């Protein structure tokens, strides 16, 4: 259940001050990726800037066999080897990002080849769809979501795929404003489009633009299930600056994280509690930090409402 209405007004004022206080030029980002906080990768993998990738290629070539299963006779040419696409299970993302991106729980990760085929077909369908057709926005949404998924499935093409995802999310938000009545904005999933646009902008380092989208979400959709996620994003920006040396930013990060705990429990609640533990430890309060971590561990074991499922 969301916070009472009078609290929501104060939060909107807080978000307004955040938007004004955090302006400025974008930081240089030579890697093309801007993750708010790094995460440890599973054993045998390392972070390559966009995913937890295998530390080295451990795939060994199997002896060539013919379709019947026998090895070729000496002097007989071996059958041609067929390149096999890596399984979708190889697709990964920073563990802490999973709780911020509900799109990742909709279906199992898909291989890049399948995503490219689907995107190509959706593009042709979109070009053939009249502007006034009711199917136009759902097609745009699928194009945006598939492009974002492709960025994780094909790290070598992530820059292009994310730019494409942002392009479609921007188109979707603009069409929602012009073609979706204000009374039906929830039905049009306009809050989701804004949130996922902000996520993609944050990933490529467009922090000011991401902040504007988060703020628009808070301002326009105060009842949205994504409001605590938007506040978490604001908190992450201050948290990163504070942990990198500017300790004056930590109190604001703590204030934002405390706001999130006033919402109903969700996967982001555990991450928020762990951030509060990190802040307490950075401020020298080890007892409070340990208390937060124990509370987070307890919450992980208890049933919890899933991330808001994209509608």
Confidence grade of residue 180 (pLDDT, cut at 50, 70, 90): confident
Q: Do 174 and 256 share a structural domain?
A: no
Distance, in Å, from the CA atom of 79 to the CA atom of 67, rounded to the nearest integer, reads 9
* Of the residues 199, 223, 247, the one at which a domain ends: 223
Domain ends where: 170, 193, 223?
223
List the structure tokens of 259.
Answer: 């706001």
Task: With a cut of 60, say whether residue 274 has pLDDT above it.
Answer: yes
Q: Where are the alpha helices (DSSP H) in the chain?
A: 5-21, 95-98, 112-127, 136-153, 158-179, 190-203, 207-220, 227-243, 250-260, 267-282, 286-301
Res 253 pLDDT > 50: yes
120 and 106 assigned to the same domain: yes
What is the number of domains present in the chain?
2
Is residue 219 domain-shared with residue 236, that is, in the same domain?
A: no
Look at 251 and 65; give whichever has higher pLDDT. Answer: 251
Residues near 128 by beta carbon (within 8 Å), at least 6 away in sequence: none
In the predicted model, is pLDDT for residue 80 greater than 50?
no
- Identify whether residues 144 and 219 lie together within a single domain: yes
186 with 255, same domain? no
pLDDT band at 97 (very low <50, low <70, confident <90, very high): confident
Q: Which of 195, 223, 251 is the last residue of a domain?
A: 223
Rounded to an integer, what distance in angstroms lies between the CA atom of residue 154 and that of residue 124? Answer: 22
Do 132 and 219 have their domain in common? yes
Domain range for 168 is 93-223
- Greatest mean pLDDT range, 106-110, 142-146, 189-193: 142-146
Residue 19, domain member (yes or no):
no
Q: Which of 15-24, 66-75, 133-142, 300-309 has the highest mean pLDDT?
A: 133-142
**Same domain for 170 and 127:** yes
């Amino acid at each position: 259940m969301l916070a009472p209405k009078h609290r929501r007004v104060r939060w909107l004022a807080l978000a307004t001050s955040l938007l004004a206080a955090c302006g400025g030029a974008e930081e240089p980002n030579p890697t093309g990726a801007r993750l708010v906080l790094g995460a440890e990768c599973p054993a045998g993998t390392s972070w390559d800037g966009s995913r937890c990738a295998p530390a080295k290629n451990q795939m060994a070539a199997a002896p060539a066999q013919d379709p019947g299963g026998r090895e070729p006779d000496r002097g007989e040419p071996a059958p041609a080897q067929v390149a096999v696409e890596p399984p979708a299970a190889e697709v990964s993302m920073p563990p802490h990002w999973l709780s911020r991106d509900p799109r990742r729980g909709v279906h199992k990760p898909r291989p890049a080849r399948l995503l490219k085929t689907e995107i190509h077909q959706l593009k042709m369908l979109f070009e053939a769809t009249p502007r006034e057709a009711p199917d136009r926005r759902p097609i745009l949404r699928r194009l945006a979501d598939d492009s974002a998924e492709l960025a994780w499935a094909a790290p070598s093409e992530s820059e292009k795929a994310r730019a494409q995802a942002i392009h479609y999310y921007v188109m979707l938000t603009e069409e929602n404003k012009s073609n979706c009545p204000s009374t039906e904005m929830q039905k049009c999933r306009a809050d989701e489009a804004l949130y996922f646009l902000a996520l993609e902008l944050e990933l490529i380092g467009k922090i000011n633009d991401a902040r504007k989208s988060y703020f628009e979400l808070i301002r326009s959709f105060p009842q949205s299930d994504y409001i605590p996620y938007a506040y978490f994003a604001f908190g992450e920006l201050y948290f990163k600056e504070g942990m990198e040396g500017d300790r004056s930013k930590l109190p604001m990060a703590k204030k934002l994280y405390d706001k999130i705990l006033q919402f109903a429990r969700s996967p982001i609640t555990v991450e928020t509690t762990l951030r509060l533990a990190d802040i307490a430890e950075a401020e020298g309060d080890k007892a409070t930090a340990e208390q937060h971590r124990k509370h987070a561990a307890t919450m992980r074991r208890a049933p919890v409402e899933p991330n808001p499922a994209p509608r």
